[in-house]
Amino acid sequence: MAQRRPWEVEDELWELIEPLLPKVERRFRHPGRKRLDDRRALCGILFVLYTGMPWEFLPQELGYGSGMTCWRRLRDWTEAGVWQRLHELLLAKLNAAGLIDWSRAAIDGSHVRALKGGRKPDRARSTGPAPAPNTM
């Protein structure tokens, strides 16, 4: 049996993800090219994120569509709140199965912006040579 690649979505996980994705109706007038299957687009997104490859270099031979298609789908799903809902769903499932050790969870507010700002640092002193005294 072939080993599953990290960016390939298993059927069990796909059954959780698919209902979270927004439904896009195909236009009847001027339908254009058929839309890439959501599961393939997700695999393309995961492939790019896993490999660190630039979107435009996503190989067409993999069958995940173009890098631009996957990038647009990522953008659309982000705007639709898919990732937040998926995160909450997976956390709930893991918690129900007792697989989360909440004693190791940390809540930190240090990433919150200080809207009024803090003290401004003093201007850095020059590290260059001091000017020579004027002899004239």
Q: How far apart are CA 12 and CA 122, in angstroms?
A: 57
Q: Do the domain assignments include residue 127?
A: no
Q: Do the domain assignments include residue 87?
A: yes
pLDDT of residue 18: 96
What is the full DSSP assignment across 37-88?
PHHHHHHHHHHHHHH---GGG--GGGSS--HHHHHHHHHHHHHTTHHHHHHH
- List pLDDT tens digits, range 89-136: 999 999 999 999 888 877 766 666 666 666 777 777 777 777 777 766
Please state the domain count of the chain. 1
pLDDT of residue 136: 67
This prediction's pTM: 0.70
* Structure tokens belonging to residue 74: 């990522």
Q: Do the domain assignments include residue 4?
A: no
Q: Diameter of the chain by CA atoms?
A: 88
The whole domain housing 16 covers 11-24+32-98
Q: How far apart are CA 116 and CA 119, in angstroms?
A: 10
- List pLDDT tens digits, range 5-59: 888 999 999 999 999 999 988 777 777 888 899 999 999 999 999 999 999 999 9
